[in-house]
Structure 1
Amino acid sequence: MGFSSRANLFFVLLMLCCCVLDVGIAIDTITSSQSIKDPEVLTSKDGNFTLGFFTPQNSTNRYVGIWWKSQSTIIWVANRNQPLNDSSGIVTIHEDGNLVLLKGQKQVIWTTNLSNSSSNRTSQFSDYGKLVLTEATTGNILWDSFQQPSNTLLPGMKLSTNNSTGKKVELTSWKSPSNPSVGSFSSGVVQGINIVEVFIWNETQPYWRSGPWNGRLFTGIQSMATLYRTGFQGGNDGEGYANIYYTIPSSSEFLIYMLNLQGQLLLTEWDDERKEMEVTWTSQDSDCDVYGICGSFAICNAQSSPICSCLKGFEARNKEEWNRQNWTGGCVRRTQLQCERVKDHNTSTDTKEDGFLKLQMVKVPYFAEGSPVEPDICRSQCLENCSCVAYSHDDGIGCMSWTGNLLDIQQFSDAGLDLYVRIAHTELDKGKNTKIIIIITVIIGAVVIITCSCAYVMRRTSNHPAKIWHLIKLRKGNRNGFVQSKFDETPEHPSHRVIEELTQVQQQEMFVFDFKRVATATNNFHQSNKLGQGGFGPVYKGKLQDGQEIAVKRLSRASGQGLEEFMNEVVVISKLQHRNLVRLFGSCIEGEEKMLLYEYMPNKSLDVFIFDPSKSKLLDWRKRISIIEGIARGLLYLHRDSRLRIIHRDLKASNILLDEELNPKISDFGMARIFGGTEDQANTLRVVGTYGYMSPEYAMQGLFSEKSDVFSFGVLVLEIVSGRRNSSFYDNENFLSLLGFAWIQWKEGNILSLVDPGTYDPSYHKEILRCIHIGFLCVQELAVERPTMATVISMLNSDDVFLPPPSQPAFILRQNMLNSVSSEEIHNFVSINTVSITDIHGR
């Protein structure tokens, strides 16, 4: 080969090397001459982060974003509010030096919007998921994606605020799973007087807050001690900014905070074995985490029912609203403070100094002023300032004091701070005498009750001595922790016992109405006000004098089953409070009359909508999935989050009521059972509920647990999706139940034949498919294979949660259950003495 040929070959090889080198540089870099075009991507050097074009689920729009591992974890979006409607997008350095997204070659869709122009700039993609724009000659960073976050907080990313300039760096939620544009919720840092907190806002209204930052943790997050491994740092930086950020101890870990569509901050952690993000913490564990839910001068305790109560020395501003559990009006001071009396020139002879009520382990209120003084000085400063209504002290913050209304106080079981609330000394004196008063009252009350009870029992049993033993058995029959067990043991329903128990519950939990007031509210129970009929008796619509609409459940005198359900329901639901459970206002017991008063649901029950061809059209897919999620949240509260562990046992479409905005509320707790602290399942000889919704282990063996409700929930999900009743589904050829029909369509990939035609929307196809999948997981034959409600909610709220393949559901044939037992067992099983079947009635 001649010299010329060798030279040419060398030149070609050199050019190839340069090209390879250039490609290597372009892996994580954009320049004015090196762009990325849809569907090209940039990849971080470690291969974990990718910058590129993506299309959200159920959408046709194109966006430029950054994701971790896969597009199921989008952490940043450039053109959130300016989507591309085709694949002509180009990301490049514009002639003015800005990083831009172009549609085609000319139209600017998104830009970094820097005012000072320069042509010598590059954009690089780091291993931390950060996209930066730098000056090529100096290396100075001019802009980075951490300054304009979307809905995700990454390690090293700072949430910040500057009160002087008004400049903020905040998270903003997506509008929907298919639309990453700015949604209703935002989260950022609030800087008070030496106090820094993190807030979540719904539009402009506060929705959640972290409590004050003490340099180590957020004092208003009870679980913060266990989350400290995420290494939060921040505070005032001395340059006018307050910021909060976190680091992770190991490069092998990946933890991010995401602001979801419901306004919750979720801590998600990468599970390398399952190859998915797992939610490990949420900012809203209970309703008490909703900002200011109890109003001013009140405290929220998720372990109490009701959850809100006025602070000692305060009373409800509006007692009628408070009794209806509308707490937004808050509480007001009962006794004027001594310093206020002096200021108002009150000539009262009472000159004793005000004192402080100590609240331990609480989330302290908002609007605190901070000063670096010791606790004793903090107390004296507050006492000397008549405007100071409370103070607290933390070693990392110093003294905190409040001069306005005390808002958003929450009781913790551990952690938190001590809060000292200023009250009149007479209120403190009441506290000193309370124990003595209580002891004397209890002793006197016990003597009176025992005397009256003995006289009553002797009179009732004088002609029937055997009744004494019967009453003793009733007294001892509730040791297993189930409310209904006392009735399971005997076919008799002693009304005097019911009245006694209801009276006790009324005194402790409920508002008592007299018969005349209820009769007036329902127009003397006029037929035109009748909403429906159940085994317990009729339900009427009513309106109280203050305009409050109610539903009145009136126990039928001839209903043996209804008496038992009535007793069970009042004991159970009087202790519950959740936005997805129907609310009990009170009761009425006079003579033979026994009634429960509930909030009125103008849209009646779910079955009225989903099984009616004309009304079902009013429930589009977004509303149906919202109803499914609401029912799931209500069940999770019953199973795990309330102060009781409750199994509903009769979950069905007719027991899901809908408010004016079609939000679901679980009702009818007559069949419910309360579990003890260590129990996870129980057995009963008296199977109650509705065929078609019962789990196989409950229907055939009497075994029930949380998984029994999960099975009913799964049936309900498939009914909501399909618009067909499981209990009345009919297939002549195959004798299939709805579960059997749905399973065949699922296995054959014929989902469209399962979905209610008026509901189906191609843009939600994946979400509908996922919901059906979750429904099948809930109706699997073996209880151990069914997910818990906590897992169900994770599955519904996150596409990242892995869904295992479901096994064949139970009861796929309409006669499957009865064919699996002997003729003798069938006879016993349908006997009126052992099985209680609830019919479905619209309300």
Structure 2
Amino acid sequence: MRALFFLHFLFSLFLHNISDARDTITSTQSLKDGDTIISSGGNFEMGFFSIPAAGSINRYVGIWYKQIPGQTVIWIANRETALTNTTSAVLKIVEPGGPLVLIDGKNEVIWSANASRSAQNPIAQLLDSGNLVVRDNREDENFLWQSFDYPTDTYLPGMKLGWNFLTQHEVYITSWKNENDPASGPFTHHFDPTGYPQLVTKNGSKELFIAGPWNGLRWSGTPEMDAYSPHYKYHVSISPREVYTRYDLINNPVLTRVVMTSSGELQVYIWVNETQSWVSALKVPRNSCDSYAICGANGVCNITASPVCGCFEKFTSRKTRVGLDYWSDGCHRRKPLKCKNGTDGFKKYSGIKWPDTKHSWFNTTMNLTECEHKCLKNCSLIISCTYHSCTAYSNLDIRNGGSGCLLWFNDLIDIRVLYQNGQDIYIRLDSSEIPAEPIRVESHASSKGKKVKIVLGCLLLLIVMIVLGLCLGLNIFKKSKKKMMKLKEWLELPLFDLSTISRATNNFSENNKLGEGGFGVVYKGVLDDKQEVAVKRLSKTSTQGLLEFKNEVICIAKLQHRNLVKLLGCCIQGEEKLLVYEYLANKSLDTFIFDEAKSKLIDWPERFSIINGIARGLMYLHQDSRLRVIHRDLKASNVLLDDNMNPKISDFGLARSVGGDATEANASRIMGTHGYISPEYAAKGVFSIKSDTFSFGVLSLEIVSGQRNRGFFHPDHSLNLIGHAWKLYKENRAWELIDVHLASSCDLSQVKRCIHVGLLCAQQRPEDRPTMFSVVTMLSNDNTLPEAKEPGFFIEQSVNKGNYSSSTQKTSSRNECTITDLHPR
């Protein structure tokens, strides 16, 4: 039941100290923090509170989550004017249907909420959504006033952000002034209706970040939304009456809130019951490319490039010097637009965040061809062409092949490269910059007979060639077709010709060799379009074959996450089996952390970021991806690093997907890498998502210490790295595990937390290990962690007929090849 409290004419409700919300209160009591005025039947309650950290006597009336440790406030009535030096306050309606007011002990109005109309029997109600409403007791939905129309810093599910054009009222969220002062700060988050509506974060009147327009699936500039799409759904409404967006939880799986922080970040928080804490699931801006218009007009930001700003093909920079300081003028077309019939055309650019849509026009019914014609016709006189012509177009909605029309005018602002879920845009250029299509000339009537003869001759020749082809290569054709059909069944993935790959890798030259693993050799390649790639070639002597090849293709191609390596395509031709990946210049993590010279190049903040990135990638595999995937071979050499040292999990040859809600399976053979395999998998062939958690725990300790688990040597004992970390943890000396190169840059509390989390992940029993969702949560906050239990394999292990026994190995081993141990079952 939803709790009600009635606000009658001249009837006062006092802040009071009670355990339950009541319909009427007749006595005044002293104000105390946490006093409850009203409680919803769901997750919220409303009452009186102060901010202990502020150390002041300021008091506020607000709404917070109930039954959650601490006090997470989501709305404040009197944020601008605190209650001070008072022991009582009154919340009342001055007259029937009049304003709802908060009056202090001096009978001064501290805050008021004007109702939209009068009512004879008004009541106030705190809904399960967290929305405080004032309504006529005879009506359910026609509210006189609601707090969702006047939010503070928190955007809740079901709340509308946007404009009501009839009342000229805008709903937006505003940051606190600082962490201890809830008064309105400088940062705001809006659904801006100018042009085609888009989400905008501002500092005062200055744009800081634009999430991009809605493209039917997500906000154009936030591809990470897909990772959370199973949990909520966005709605966008555009009409002459109002423009708004809201998001709703699907089946109410988790508590979620979006907060405009006092530091200018927009944070998405999710409540995690396991750790009893809020975890930050998404934060923007994420990096420098999220800064609004950082590369100027027509400039493109690419976070993996150096410098990050650049120009589209067919554009050139206005400045000759490099660096962000010289990009304020952006880029311009190599050849100016003439704005005459037949002088302009369009070039398609893909994989980007759509530009700012303040200067745009849209239509929901046009197709892409009509959109092109509309843009081409919209061209002003030459003297004003630069400022008043249509400069680009795209589909408005990218679902189901695309629909609708979105036109941009003037310069294109705030564009960035997106490596996942980027959109297409067609940009206007001088026609000389666009390759001409072949010209087709129709035959004259006098040549009709000749045309028929040519057509018949061509058909006859085609039939002869088909017959010869069938006769000469029927078996090869059938085999190839069978393989290709199977591949098509797996997924929609670009297929490369062997000749293309051979040319890209200089015929698989040794000079192009990047490394070698259980699958085979990996080569660097450069495709015909100058794109750099990494080509993994199945070795003829490899213990992995078509099954593992198919497994890797199926797993990685259907997964999209910033912390997973991106598969660009594959090739099966004859005996050759090739996988084509994005090229990552910094290669694998092990080449840094286990190298005496390179380990000095990555300081503690970078290592901590790498640990978090790997954790988020595993969380996506286990929980948020379309397939629940267990990697089974997570190790330092299978984590690649991009130009910005962002980690990307790779090598899915041993990965297994499990259906439905399954999290565990059995294996007929043990596959993985010594030092990272979990005890239950090594001994019984049982693997689960907790097997990956164990591997992550080992890898975290390796990243912190800069030493391998296998081959670890200490003069005082025969423990491996896990055992050494466990020993230091029990003796309260965990910080001694840290790599000596990190002494000057480490955050001691973060280091100790990472070691603690690593040991929690490496515990002997899988049920004692946390999920990766919990790991991400534990790494992102300062809440107290549970005590770690004895880890598995904390003494250097060796394999003996499938059983693991102690070893006093003293020498360091660099062998990290994936192994396959056969066991009878």
Q: CA deviation at 1:762?
A: 8.2
Aligned to 1:513: 497
1:661-682: CA deviations, max 9, x gaps? 1111111112122323364322
Give the TM-score taking structure 2 as reference length. 0.53
For residue 752 of structure 1, give the secondary structure of its aligned residue in structure 2.
helix
For residue 535 of structure 2, give the secondary structure of its aligned residue in structure 1.
strand
Indicate conservation of the 8 Å contact 2:162/2:191, yes or no.
Answer: yes
Which residue among 181, 190, 194 is the counterpart of 2:192?
190
Q: CA deviation at 1:580?
A: 1.5
Q: CA deviation at 1:419?
A: 7.2
In structure 2, relative to structure 1, the CA distance for the partners of 1:670 and 1:148 (3 Å cut) is same
Q: CA deviation at 1:526?
A: 3.0
Aligned to 2:259: 258
Partner amino acid for 2:819? I
Aligned to 2:512: 529
In 1, distance between residues paired with 2:509 and 2:89?
72
1:33-74: CA deviations, max 9, x gaps? xxxxxxxxxxxx98873324469xxxxxxxx99999999767
2:800 pairs with 1:813: no
Indicate conservation of the 8 Å contact 2:257/2:269, yes or no.
Answer: yes
Aligned to 2:637: 654
1:335-380: CA deviations, max 9, x gaps? xxxxxxxx989xxxxxxxxxxxxxxxxxxx9889899xxx9xx999
In structure 2, relative to structure 1, the CA distance for the partners of 1:369 and 1:683 (3 Å cut) is same
Which structure shows the bigger proportion of residues in helix conformation?
Answer: 1
In structure 2, relative to structure 1, the CA distance for the partners of 1:757 and 1:166 (3 Å cut) is farther
Residues 290-369 of structure 1: pairs in structure 2 closer than 5 A = none
For residue 512 of structure 1, give the secondary structure of its aligned residue in structure 2.
coil
2:214 pairs with 1:207: no
Q: CA deviation at 1:745?
A: 1.1
Indicate conservation of the 8 Å contact 2:516/2:522, yes or no.
Answer: yes
2:51 pairs with 1:51: yes
In structure 2, relative to structure 1, the CA distance for the partners of 1:384 and 1:569 (3 Å cut) is closer
Partner amino acid for 1:674? S
In 1, distance between residues paired with 2:773 and 2:516?
34
Which residue among 720, 745, 750 is the counterpart of 2:703?
720
Q: CA deviation at 1:657?
A: 0.5
For residue 803 of structure 1, give the secondary structure of its aligned residue in structure 2.
coil
Q: CA deviation at 1:689?
A: 0.8
In structure 2, relative to structure 1, the CA distance for the partners of 1:596 and 1:247 (3 Å cut) is closer
Partner amino acid for 1:656? V
Q: CA deviation at 1:524?
A: 3.2
Partner amino acid for 1:688? M
Q: CA deviation at 1:596?
A: 2.2
Q: CA deviation at 1:599?
A: 1.4
Indicate conservation of the 8 Å contact 2:215/2:398, yes or no.
Answer: no
For residue 740 of structure 2, give the secondary structure of its aligned residue in structure 1.
coil
Partner amino acid for 2:721? L
Q: CA deviation at 1:386?
A: 8.5
In structure 2, relative to structure 1, the CA distance for the partners of 1:532 and 1:822 (3 Å cut) is closer
For residue 623 of structure 2, give the secondary structure of its aligned residue in structure 1.
helix
Which residue among 539, 542, 547 is the counterpart of 2:530?
547
2:654 pairs with 1:684: no
Indicate conservation of the 8 Å contact 1:199/1:209, yes or no.
Answer: no
Residues 620-769 of structure 1: pairs in structure 2 closer than 5 A = 620-677=603-660, 679-760=662-743, 764-769=747-752
Q: Structure 1 regions of 5+ residues with no counterpart?
A: 1-22, 29-44, 56-63, 79-97, 101-111, 113-119, 213-220, 285-289, 292-316, 319-342, 346-364, 390-401, 413-417, 423-447, 460-470, 472-495, 824-834
In structure 2, relative to structure 1, the CA distance for the partners of 1:626 and 1:748 (3 Å cut) is same
For residue 509 of structure 1, give the secondary structure of its aligned residue in structure 2.
coil
CA RMSD of aligned residues (A): 6.7
In structure 2, relative to structure 1, the CA distance for the partners of 1:577 and 1:182 (3 Å cut) is farther
Partner amino acid for 2:618? L
Indicate conservation of the 8 Å contact 2:797/2:804, yes or no.
Answer: no
In 1, distance between residues paired with 2:69 and 2:542?
58
In 1, distance between residues paired with 2:551 and 2:275?
46
Partner amino acid for 1:625? F
Indicate conservation of the 8 Å contact 1:502/1:571, yes or no.
Answer: no
In 2, distance between residues paired with 1:226 and 1:574?
23
Which residue among 741, 757, 773 is the counterpart of 1:774?
757
Which residue among 541, 544, 551 is the counterpart of 1:561?
544
1:230-275: CA deviations, max 9, x gaps? 9x9999999xx98999999xxxx9985335899665355697xx89
Partner amino acid for 1:767? Q
In structure 2, relative to structure 1, the CA distance for the partners of 1:573 and 1:140 (3 Å cut) is closer
Indicate conservation of the 8 Å contact 1:99/1:123, yes or no.
Answer: no
In 1, distance between residues paired with 2:598 and 2:102?
53
For residue 724 of structure 1, give the secondary structure of its aligned residue in structure 2.
coil
Aligned to 1:478: none
Aligned to 2:109: 139
Partner amino acid for 2:109? G
Residues 23-172 of structure 1: pairs in structure 2 closer than 5 A = 49-53=49-53, 138-139=108-109, 141=111, 152-153=154-155, 170-171=173-174
Aligned to 2:11: none
In structure 2, relative to structure 1, the CA distance for the partners of 1:786 and 1:410 (3 Å cut) is farther
Aligned to 2:333: none
In 1, distance between residues paired with 2:74 and 2:657?
46
Partner amino acid for 1:797? S
Q: CA deviation at 1:810?
A: 0.7
For residue 554 of structure 1, give the secondary structure of its aligned residue in structure 2.
strand
Residues 210-609 of structure 1: pairs in structure 2 closer than 5 A = 256-259=257-260, 265-266=267-268, 268=270, 276-278=276-278, 405=393, 409=397, 456=475, 504=488, 508-515=492-499, 517-561=500-544, 565-609=548-592
Partner amino acid for 1:721? V
In 2, distance between residues paired with 1:672 and 1:366?
42
Q: CA deviation at 1:728?
A: 1.9
1:629-650: CA deviations, max 9, x gaps? 2212222232233332322111
Q: Structure 2 regions of 5+ residues with no counterpart?
A: 1-28, 35-44, 92-100, 114-146, 217-224, 285-289, 292-311, 314-339, 343-355, 377-389, 407-466, 806-816
Q: CA deviation at 1:602?
A: 0.7
In 2, distance between residues paired with 1:668 and 1:161?
48
Partner amino acid for 2:637? S
In structure 2, relative to structure 1, the CA distance for the partners of 1:661 and 1:612 (3 Å cut) is same
**Range 676-685 or range 64-73, more displaced:** 64-73
Partner amino acid for 2:496? V
Q: CA deviation at 1:160?
A: 6.9
Aligned to 2:785: 803
Indicate conservation of the 8 Å contact 2:272/2:774, yes or no.
Answer: no
Partner amino acid for 1:804? P
In 2, distance between residues paired with 1:509 and 1:523?
24
Indicate conservation of the 8 Å contact 1:698/1:708, yes or no.
Answer: yes
Q: CA deviation at 1:584?
A: 2.0
For residue 777 of structure 1, give the secondary structure of its aligned residue in structure 2.
helix
In 2, distance between residues paired with 1:520 and 1:384?
39
**Range 545-554 or range 740-749, more displaced:** 545-554
In structure 2, relative to structure 1, the CA distance for the partners of 1:670 and 1:269 (3 Å cut) is closer
In structure 2, relative to structure 1, the CA distance for the partners of 1:793 and 1:745 (3 Å cut) is same
In 1, distance between residues paired with 2:691 and 2:715?
29
Partner amino acid for 1:513? D
In structure 2, relative to structure 1, the CA distance for the partners of 1:622 and 1:68 (3 Å cut) is farther
